[in-house]
Amino acid sequence: MNNNLFAEIPAKLSDEIFTTILEASNVRIERIVSNGNSSPEGFWYDQDQHEWVILLTGFARLSFEGDGKEFEMKPGDFVNIPAHKKHRVAWTTPEELTI
């Protein structure tokens, strides 16, 4: 991957693309590209580390276990997800890429 977050994205996606940009002992930065993708029904991420998410393009909704609410994200929005806070991607827009 070159030094541009919008580069090297295929014209058509069938699955999300996860690209590691930087990985060190205490941090990992990934680019995730979605196009109408969401987490499988009933699946929850439960991660050992905190996760900070920023939305650059598109739109998404995240769900957090136990609160019954969805967190809507638009370009520029960010969220810090504490370690072991169960969450899932409820929706990403199918009309455009969500990065």
Domain-by-domain residue ranges, the chain? Answer: 17-92
pTM surpassing 0.95?
no
Q: Which CATH class is domain 17-92?
A: mainly beta
Average pLDDT over every residue of 11-24: 89
Buried b vs exposed e over 29-59: b needs ≥16 C-beta within 10 Å?
A: eebebbbebbbeeeeeeeeeeeeebebeebb
Average pLDDT over every residue of 18-34: 92
Query: Per residue, what are the HEC states of 34-60?
Result: ECCCCCCCCCCECCCCCEEEECCCCCE
Are residues 56 and 78 in contact, defined by beta-carbon separation less than 8 angstroms? no
Most confident of 6-10, 26-30, 57-61: 57-61
Task: Report the pLDDT value the prediction gives residue 54, as an integer from 0 to 100.
Answer: 97
Contacts of 49 (CB under 8 A, 6+ apart): 28, 83
Are residues 84 and 44 in contact, defined by beta-carbon separation less than 8 angstroms? no
Q: What is the pLDDT of residues 42-96, one digit of tens each?
A: 999 999 999 999 999 999 999 999 988 899 999 999 999 999 999 999 999 999 9
